[in-house]
């Protein structure tokens, strides 16, 4: 929620409770729209946590990106850390969000996959982050080969964001292991032009519905990068197959469209508040099942890919 004070011209951003629910994602998109519509004179923003009871990994990545987007417009941000509930503050300290925004609290290992922002695509550093900080903690029982394969496909999500989004502020990530729910999450977000807009621009057709544009982007061999020698789409087949077998989920929100993948299949949906960028949310179940690649399988009864 945004409140602009007429006398001072300052704006207060009240951070709301954020969980892994579609209505909470849509609320974040509406907040982003509201800030985009603010005049530059109202970008002296105080961030207040009075009404926030919980902020999940997705909310952390989104808030970090939104703060950087405001600063990129020449805005001034002040975090009112005194309004931050202790339990939320502990998590934001652990995942490195507080340190990234000026607090002298160094992050530490725990159930968080660290908050990070990347201005450029460093393939090695991002790959290490995905393997060591997300998949390599033993929360999901998968082989080293499958870890590398999934990390490689998620690294492609980063690469697509850098190549196609035209975002001047880069890409933002955060994740979390929730032991009670037995779930592992990772969110990757950019504040660029969005996948459907990128496809419309490439195909020179601004009438393409977001769902059709997203479906086009997911086809192997499709790309909106004109000067590439390699033609590729999102090509997330292995990640999709793992999500299906694991009964996890993969959601990609971009503009007013969404791709939702789970054990029931793949769905292309419209109707969300339009978000200029792209948000990818990945969820894995942390059960006892062991998963590996076909080349690593010694027991034909175990899931393999």
How far is Cα of residue 116 from the mean position of the Cα atoms in its chain? 11
The CA distance from 242 to 154, in Å, is 12
Using one digit for the tens of pLDDT, what is the confidence trace for 213-233?
999 988 855 565 554 433 345
**Within the chain, what is the greatest distance between any pair of CA atoms?**
71
How far is Cα of residue 247 from the mean position of the Cα atoms in its chain? 19
| pLDDT for res 28 | 94
| 172 in Cβ contact with 69 (< 8 Å) | no
| 135 in Cβ contact with 113 (< 8 Å) | no
Q: Helices (DSSP H) in the chain: which residue ranges? A: 22-36, 57-72, 86-94, 97-100, 123-128, 144-164, 195-203, 210-217, 237-246
Q: Quick count: other Cβ atoms within 10 Å of Cβ 256?
A: 18
> pLDDT exceeding 90 applies to what percent of the chain?
75
| pLDDT for res 272 | 81
Q: Is 255 left (phi over 0), alpha (psi -120 to 50) or beta?
A: left
- What pTM, to 2 d.p., does this model score? 0.91
Domains and CATH numbers, the chain: 2-296 (3.30.565.10)
What is the sign of the dihedral through the CA atoms of 2, 7, 8 and 9?
A: positive
| 174 in Cβ contact with 97 (< 8 Å) | yes
Q: Quick count: other Cβ atoms within 10 Å of Cβ 262?
A: 17
Q: Burial, 269: exposed, middle or buried (Cβ in 10 Å; 0-12, 13-18, 19+)?
A: middle
Q: Which residue has the tokens 């990994």?
A: 57
- The H helix count followed by the E strand count for the chain is 9, 9
| 81 in Cβ contact with 73 (< 8 Å) | no
Q: What is each CA distance from 174 to 115, 171, 199, 245, in whole angstroms?
A: 4, 11, 27, 24
| 191 in Cβ contact with 65 (< 8 Å) | yes
> Is residue 126 over pLDDT 70?
yes
Which position has the higher pLDDT, 305 or 230? 305
**Partners of 28 in the β-ladder:** none
**Of residues 118, 107, 160, 128, the one with CA closest to residue 280:** 160
| pLDDT for res 65 | 96
| pLDDT for res 234 | 57
> Is residue 265 over pLDDT 80?
yes
Q: State the average pLDDT over residues 118-143.
A: 94
Which position has the higher pLDDT, 296 or 78? 78
Structure letter (DSSP) for residue 18:
B
What is the sign of the dihedral through the CA atoms of 159, 234, 26 and 9?
A: positive
| 179 in Cβ contact with 296 (< 8 Å) | no
Using one digit for the tens of pLDDT, what is the confidence trace for 138-194?
999 999 999 999 999 999 999 989 988 889 999 999 999 999 999 999 999 999 999
Q: Quick count: other Cβ atoms within 10 Å of Cβ 165?
A: 24
């Amino acid at each position: 929620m945004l409140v602009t004070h007429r006398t001072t011209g300052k704006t207060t951003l009240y951070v709301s409770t954020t969980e892994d629910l579609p209505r909470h994602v849509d609320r974040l998109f509406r907040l982003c729209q509201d800030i985009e519509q603010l005049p530059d004179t109202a970008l002296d923003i105080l961030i207040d946590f009075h009404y926030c009871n919980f902020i999940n990994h997705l909310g952390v990545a989104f808030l970090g990106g939104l703060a950087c987007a405001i600063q990129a417009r020449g805005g001034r941000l002040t975090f009112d850390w005194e309004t931050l509930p202790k339990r939320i503050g502990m998590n934001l300290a652990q995942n490195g969000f507080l340190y990234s925004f000026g607090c002298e609290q160094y992050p530490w290992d725990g159930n968080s996959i660290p908050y990070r922002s990347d201005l450029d695509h460093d393939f090695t550093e991002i790959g290490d982050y995905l393997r060591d900080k997300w998949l390599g903690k033993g929360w999901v029982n998968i082989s080293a080969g499958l870890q590398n394969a999934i990390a490689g496909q998620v690294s492609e999500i980063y690469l697509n964001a850098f190549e196609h989004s035209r975002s001047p502020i880069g890409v933002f990530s955060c994740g979390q292991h929730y032991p009670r729910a037995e779930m592992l999450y990772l969110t990757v977000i950019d504040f660029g032009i969005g996948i459907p807009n990128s496809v419309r621009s490439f195909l020179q057709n601004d009438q393409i519905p977001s769902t059709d544009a997203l479906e086009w982007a997911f086809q192997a061999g499709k790309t909106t990068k004109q000067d590439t020698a390699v033609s590729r789409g999102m090509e997330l087949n292995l990640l999709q197959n793992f999500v299906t077998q694991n009964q996890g989920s993969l959601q990609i929100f971009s503009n007013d469209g969404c791709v939702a993948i789970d054990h029931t299949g793949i769905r292309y949906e419209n109707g969300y508040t339009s978000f200029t960028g792209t948000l990818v949310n990945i969820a894995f179940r942390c059960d006892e099942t062991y998963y590996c690649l076909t080349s690593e399988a010694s027991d034909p009864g175990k899931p393999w890919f």
